[in-house]
C-alpha cells in the first residue's frame, strides 16, 4: 500500500486526532481500518478482519499504525520529523541529495555517472560500503536502501540510466551483497519504468539472477505494476507460473490451476484479474467464493477493492459483474478515502461516476 506522505508542514495535533479516529474506526469494525492495521501494525499482520476487531486496541497502537502509514518506524520517529526536521527529511529533494554520508553519496554519484572503474576503486577503498544502508523515512518504499538498490532508478531520480549500468552493477555485486539485497533490487528493476524505457531491464534481471537473485521473488511485483515484459523475463529465468500469473491468461488453464490453489493465491489472483479487467477470470473467482468486498492483498494495491480498480480502469461489464455479486459501492479506499465513484471521478470517467454515485448513496442500481 502506498504510504500517506506528510504534507510540507505537518501538524502533530492533526495526526493525534487521526490516531483517535482510528481507535473509533476499530471499535466500529471498519473494514478500511482493519486493512490499514493489517499492513501497518506488525501485531495485526496476516490476521483476518474478525481477529483484528476482537483484539485489544489502544491509542498507542493507533499512533504506531499512523506513523507507519506515513513511512516512519515509530510514533517517536514521526514526532521527531515534525518537531526537529533534518536535511534528510527534505522530501522535495531527490534521494541522492538527501544522503548525509559523504562516502555513500560519492558511491551513488559514481553510479549515476556510469563510472564502473571509479566505483570499483571507491568500494575497494571503503570495505563494507556495499552492505551499508542509508535511511529515508516518510516515503512509499526505498526506506533503507543499500548501494545496489540505487542502480534500479526506482524510484525515479534522473529519469534515465547510464549506458554502463550493467558494468556498474557488476562492480557492486563483486564487492559482496546478501540475498535480501539481490531480491529487493531485482524487484525494483522488474518494476522500473526507467529500466524498461532505457532497454536495460532484461540485462539487469539476467545479471542479478546470474548472481543468485530469486526470479520468483519479483514476479508478482512486476505483474501488479503492469510489467508484463519483465514478468516474461523472470519466467524465462525460472520463476514459477502460479495462479496470479494464470489470471492473465485463458479460462481453461486458470480453472486447472484453481483446483489446487490456496486461499492466498486466489485472493491475489482476484486482484490481478480485476486490475487487468480479465472478466472471465473474475467471474470464475466469484463463482468459487471470492469476496468482492475484500481489500486487495498486501502488495496488490491493498488500499482498495476490486470495484475501485474496475471503476477507474475497467469496463462497465466488469463493474456490473462485481455489483451483481455483492460488491459495495460505498466502501472507501484506505489511502485517499475515496469510493469507487470517487476513483472514477479522479480518472475523469464521468459516465462511470454518474452510474456509481447514486449506488453509494443507497439509491439502488440503475437498470
For 297-351, write each residue's pLDDT tens digit: 988 789 999 999 999 999 999 999 999 999 999 999 998 899 999 999 999 999 9
Asked whether residue 34 is domain-assigned, the answer is yes
Asked whether residue 211 is domain-assigned, the answer is yes
Examine the domain organization and report whether 55 and 120 are in the same domain. no
Asked whether residue 1 is domain-assigned, the answer is no
**CATH number, domain with residue 268:** 1.25.40.20
Examine the domain organization and report whether 296 and 218 are in the same domain. no
Q: State residue 50's pLDDT score.
A: 96
Examine the domain organization and report whether 38 and 112 are in the same domain. no
pTM: 0.85
Asked whether residue 17 is domain-assigned, the answer is yes
Q: What is the pLDDT of residues 247-279, one digit of tens each?
A: 999 999 999 999 999 999 999 999 999 999 999
The partner residues of 220 in beta bridges, in order of sequence, read none
Examine the domain organization and report whether 280 and 196 are in the same domain. no
Asked whether residue 132 is domain-assigned, the answer is yes
Asked whether residue 101 is domain-assigned, the answer is yes
Task: List the domain range (segments joined by +) for residue 315.
Answer: 244-360
**Would you call 211 exposed, middle or buried from its count of C-beta atoms within 10 A (0-12, 13-18, 19+)?**
middle
Asked whether residue 323 is domain-assigned, the answer is yes
Which set of grid coordinates corresponds to residue 299? 502488495
Which set of grid coordinates corresponds to residue 82? 515534525
Cα–Cα distance, 151 to 10 (Å, whole number): 32
Examine the domain organization and report whether 170 and 227 are in the same domain. yes
Examine the domain organization and report whether 50 and 99 are in the same domain. no
Asked whether residue 314 is domain-assigned, the answer is yes
Cα–Cα distance, 321 to 284 (Å, whole number): 11
Examine the domain organization and report whether 217 and 141 are in the same domain. yes
Examine the domain organization and report whether 248 and 231 are in the same domain. no
Q: What is the pLDDT of residues 340-355, one digit of tens each?
A: 999 999 999 999 999 9
Examine the domain organization and report whether 45 and 109 are in the same domain. no
Domain's final residue, options 236, 269, 298: 236
Examine the domain organization and report whether 150 and 130 are in the same domain. yes
Average pLDDT, the chain: 93
**Would you call 242 exposed, middle or buried from its count of C-beta atoms within 10 A (0-12, 13-18, 19+)?**
middle
CB atoms within 10 A of CB 68: 22
Check: CB of residue 33 under 8 Å from CB of residue 57: no
Domain's final residue, options 190, 211, 236: 236
Direct distance between the N- and C-terminal alpha carbons of the chain, in angstroms, rounded to an integer: 35
Structural domains in the chain (count):
3
**By C-alpha distance, which of 11, 41, 4 is closest to 26?**
41
Examine the domain organization and report whether 259 and 333 are in the same domain. yes
Examine the domain organization and report whether 230 and 133 are in the same domain. yes
Amino acid at each position: 500500500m502506498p504510504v500517506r506522505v506528510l504534507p510540507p508542514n505537518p501538524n502533530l495535533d492533526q495526526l493525534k486526532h487521526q490516531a483517535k479516529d482510528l481507535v473509533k474506526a476499530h471499535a466500529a469494525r471498519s473494514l478500511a481500518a482493519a486493512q490499514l492495521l493489517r499492513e501497518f501494525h506488525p501485531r495485526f499482520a496476516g490476521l483476518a478482519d474478525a481477529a483484528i476487531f476482537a483484539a485489544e486496541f489502544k491509542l498507542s497502537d493507533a499512533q504506531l499504525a499512523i506513523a507507519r502509514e506515513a513511512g516512519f518506524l515509530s510514533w517517536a520517529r514521526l514526532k521527531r520529523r515534525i518537531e526537529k526536521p533534518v536535511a534528510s527529511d527534505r522530501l522535495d529533494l531527490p534521494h541522492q541529495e538527501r544522503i548525509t554520508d559523504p562516502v555513500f553519496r560519492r558511491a551513488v554519484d559514481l553510479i549515476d555517472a556510469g563510472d564502473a572503474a571509479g566505483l570499483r576503486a571507491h568500494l575497494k577503498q571503503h570495505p563494507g560500503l556495499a552492505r551499508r544502508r542509508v535511511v529515508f523515512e516518510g516515503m512509499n518504499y526505498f526506506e533503507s536502501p543499500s548501494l545496489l538498490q540505487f542502480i534500479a532508478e526506482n524510484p525515479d531520480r534522473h529519469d534515465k540510466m547510464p549506458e554502463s549500468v550493467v558494468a556498474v552493477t557488476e562492480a557492486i555485486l563483486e564487492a559482496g551483497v546478501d540475498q535480501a539485497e539481490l531480491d529487493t533490487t531485482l524487484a525494483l528493476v522488474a518494476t522500473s519504468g526507467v529500466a524498461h524505457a532505457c532497454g536495460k531491464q532484461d540485462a539487469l534481471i539476467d545479471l542479478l539472477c546470474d548472481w543468485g537473485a530469486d526470479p520468483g521473488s519479483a514476479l508478482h511485483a512486476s505483474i501488479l505494476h503492469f510489467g508484463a515484459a519483465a514478468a516474461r523475463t523472470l519466467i524465462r529465468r525460472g520463476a514459477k507460473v502460479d495462479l496470479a500469473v494464470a489470471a492473465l491468461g485463458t479460462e481453461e488453464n486458470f480453472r486447472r490451476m484453481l483446483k489446487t490453489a490456496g486461499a492466498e493465491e486466489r485472493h491475489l489472483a482476484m486482484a490481478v484479474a480485476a486490475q487487468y479487467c480479465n472478466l472471465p477470470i473474475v467471474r470464475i473467482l466469484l463463482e468459487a467464493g471470492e469476496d468482492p468486498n475484500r481489500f486487495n492483498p498486501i502488495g496488490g494495491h491493498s488500499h482498495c477493492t476490486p470495484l475501485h480498480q474496475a471503476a477507474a480502469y475497467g469496463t462497465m461489464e466488469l463493474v456490473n459483474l462485481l455489483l451483481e455479486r455483492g460488491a459495495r459501492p460505498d466502501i472507501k479506499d484506505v489511502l485517499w478515502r475515496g469510493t469507487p465513484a470517487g476513483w472514477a471521478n479522479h480518472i475523469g470517467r464521468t459516465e462511470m461516476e454518474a452510474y456509481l454515485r447514486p449506488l453509494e448513496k443507497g439509491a439502488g442500481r440503475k437498470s
